Amino acid sequence: MRSNISFYLTLLLLMVFTSSVSQAGTQLWDFEAKAKEKDWEHANGDWKFTKGIIQETSGGQAAMHQIVRGVDWGKWDDYTVSAKIRIDGAGSKWAGLIFRAQKDLHEYYVYYLNVPNNKSEFWVHMKGAWDTRRAVNSNIAAAKKLQKEKIEVGKWMDVKVVCKKDQFEFYINDELQGELEDKDYKVGSVGVWCWQSKASFDDVMVEGNSVTNTLAVDPQSKLTTTWSSIKRKPWNQYFLD
């Protein structure tokens, strides 16, 4: 009986915890469903949706990018954005993630990989030309793990940015590369970006309390099934088993 009580108390606490974190929403673009391609707004460059990824195939312009207009994107403030990024082709050097993108396609933050110097950079893009920008930090040195497992052409890298008010954390392959501050943009959408480089992107995801959740809950999950059985069973029966 004590083991049953312990189990169901633990399960109840788990349900309370799950309910509290469920306030955080998630939106994902894995490029498998053609219907979600309409969420993406073209800025410049030659972009294609192909074989479950999005690619820039020309490598011909500065600051080529696409912005995704997810549900209620104008309310996104503090969130985490992540994606898989692969820089493609000889001579390609720079690609990264856009965050807090504004309605004007010229205005956004970008965190990007730098192949030649095995480092990363954080810039603010502003109204004007596509390449109108200022550096917050153009020399974020590679952390310990990245010094050995270098940024290379043809290699998929996991890139993540955590936005907390005016503070930003930057990760490559789950390793913190740096923490920086800027105050230009408070809310905004996310996107993909490259500079005179060909690149591929997959699994673009944004998560946060201000993000409207668009991921379906699996009704056959173990947690859902167990909770359903608990609600159907009289409580006193747990303590009599």
Torsion of CA 139, 140, 143, 148, to 10 degrees: -40
Q: What is the pLDDT of residue 6?
A: 55
Helix (H, G, I), strand (E, B) or coil at 116: coil
By C-alpha distance, which of 8, 130, 155, 18 is closest to 67? Answer: 130
pLDDT for the residue numbered 12: 52
The residues, ordered by sequence, that sit 6+ positions from 21 with a Cβ below 8 Å of its Cβ are: none
**What confidence tier does 13 reach under pLDDT thresholds 50, 70, 90?**
low
Report which residue type is found at 188.
G
Cα–Cα distance, 31 to 59 (Å, whole number): 21
Least confidently predicted of 9-23, 53-67, 150-164: 9-23
* pTM to 2 decimal places: 0.82
Q: How many CB atoms lie within 10 A of CB 4?
A: 13
Domain ranges of the chain: 25-212
Contact 31, 39 (CB under 8 A): no
Position 220 scores a pLDDT of: 44
Inter-CA distances, 38 with 35, 58, 85, 174, Å: 6, 21, 21, 30
Cα 240 from chain centroid (whole Å):
48
Q: What is the mean pLDDT of residues 217-235?
A: 42
- The mean pLDDT of the chain is 87
The more confident residue out of 235 and 70 is 70
Give the fold, CATH level 3, of 25-212.
Jelly Rolls (2.60.120)
Comparing 51-55, 70-74, 122-126, 229-233, the range with the smallest average pLDDT is: 229-233
Which pLDDT does position 216 carry in this prediction?
Answer: 73
- Position 5 scores a pLDDT of 52
Q: Contact, 40 vs 68, CB < 8 A?
A: yes
**pLDDT higher than 90, residue 221:** no
The gap between the terminal CA atoms of the chain, to the nearest Å, is: 6
Q: What is the pLDDT of residues 178-204, one digit of tens each?
A: 999 999 999 999 999 999 999 999 999
For residue 210, the model assigns a pLDDT of 97
The structure tokens 């959740």 sit at 213
Burial of 41 (0-12, 13-18, 19+ CB in 10 A): middle
Per-residue model confidence as pLDDT tens digits over 88-137: 999 999 999 999 999 999 999 999 999 999 999 999 999 999 999 999 99
Q: How much is the average pLDDT of 144-163?
A: 98
Q: Rounded to whole angstroms, how far apart are CA atoms 71 and 87?
A: 28
